[in-house]
Structure formats: structure tokens, C-alpha cells
Amino acid sequence: MRWVLALVLASCYRPAPSPGAPCAPDDTCPTGLTCKRDLCVLPGAADDAAPADGPQDISTPVDSSVNLTGCADKSREGFADVADFPTIAGCAASWEGAKDLRASRSGGTCGNDLGECDAPVDACAEGWSICGDDGDPTILSTRATAAQCASGASTGAFAAALSHCSAFPASACEYVLPLGCLVSGSCSEPVCCGPACRGDQGCTGGVYSEPDTLIAAVFDEGCGAMTTTSISGVLCCDD
């Protein structure tokens, strides 16, 4: 009698397939279910349904280690407002003796509490370099107007890595591109931004229209052999 009852129950039991189980390797599912996104689901289930635990936040987290100031010491002295000047910064820098403003990075960092620079560009953050190191004056002029350059810092003078002209013969100034980074002599003084820069040189059209291009230093301190006796630091532009 028990055997007959078990047979009757077995013949009447028709379990409904349970959705949510993984699909078989050949993407098959029990009768009544279909395979979507590697899961067996009821026919007609939304293909783009959110995961069971709700929508996921896929926004990219902000990397707090990224230096947005443009200066290795994370402090701007020139063009201080990052929102207004996101691609140019005046960075405090000092070094011993005369150095080439286009010298390669030393691998160290410098500026303010970081100490003196082994190379002037070490004052710029990673991904930034001294403005004009390729001799292109528009690298500077497209980031700041002449008026902004002149007043880009509350105090001081910040040098770019290009001399303010290519030659200064008796007849007229020459601006042959790319501008070099001369060691000394006529035209050698680097372009400069800041209220302590000079505007009394003979050639004033290297970056901005005459007479708006400013320079740093004196005749015997060119872009290729610059000391920090007459500047506060360097101009850094994002790469």
C-alpha cells in the first residue's frame, strides 16, 4: 500500500523550475527557463535588470595623490587660482649657481620646504614642465594674456624656458621659431611673468605683442645659465 501511495505522489509532483540558477555550459536551462547573462530566468525577464543588490556606483574615484597645482611642493606662488589657471603655475624654486632652464629632470623634487633644485624643472609637478622648453611661445600666450602674465603673482618673477628673442641686430629684433634658450648676450634673458619682471629690454615681442613681453634677470644671466638671484621661481605648464 505504501509503495502504491509513493508511486501516486511521484506521478503527481511537477516541481516548477527555480529561476536564478547558473546556466549549463552549453547555455541551456531546465524546461520553462531561458539563459540570460549566464543565469536561468523566466522568459520575458528584463535583460538589463539591475543586480539583486541594487544599482552599482561605477563612477571613477578621485585619486587624492594626483597633484593638480602644477608645482612639486603642491603650493602655487604664481597664477594661484587653479580654477582660473588650470594649465599654468608659478612655482617657487631656488638652486645653487647657474643652471639651464631646459635641463632634464634629476629625479628629485624641490620648492619651498622641499629644498633647492638639482634641475629647475624639478620644481614642476609630474606631467608638467617649464613653459616654453620646446621654444614655442604660444605655450605661454595661450595660457595667460599679457596682462595676466604681468600680474600673475602678487609678488616675484617666474621664468619660462625660452629666451625672449633670437637675435638683436642694429636694425630690428628677430624672433625666429623655435626660440632658443641662450646662455648669455643679446636676447638671452628668459621670458618672465610677475610684477618683479623687467620690461625695459630692447625686444619686447617674443611672446606677446610689443611692448608686452617681460623678461627676467640681467644681460649676463640667460635662459641657458640662469641663477635665482633675480627670480622667485619658474613657470610650469601642463604637458
Phi-psi region of 68 (alpha: psi -120 to 50; beta: other; left: phi over 0): alpha
What would the 3-class secondary structure string for 13-26 be? CCCCCCCCCECCCC
Instruction: Give the pLDDT of the chain (239 residues) as one tens digit per residue.
Output: 444 444 334 444 445 556 777 788 777 888 878 887 777 878 776 554 444 454 444 444 444 556 889 999 999 999 999 999 999 999 999 999 999 999 999 999 999 989 999 999 999 999 999 999 999 999 999 999 999 999 987 789 999 999 999 998 877 899 999 999 999 998 999 999 999 999 988 899 999 999 999 999 777 799 999 999 999 999 999 99
Domain ranges within the chain, ordered by starting residue:
16-47, 69-239
Cell numbers of 229, please?
638671484
Q: Is the CB of residue 192 less than 8 Å from the CB of residue 156?
A: no
Q: What pTM was computed for the model?
A: 0.73
Judged by DSSP in three states, 39 sits in strand
User: Tell me, what amino acid is at 65?
Assistant: S
Cell numbers of 34, please?
531561458
User: Tell me, what amino acid is at 231?
Assistant: I
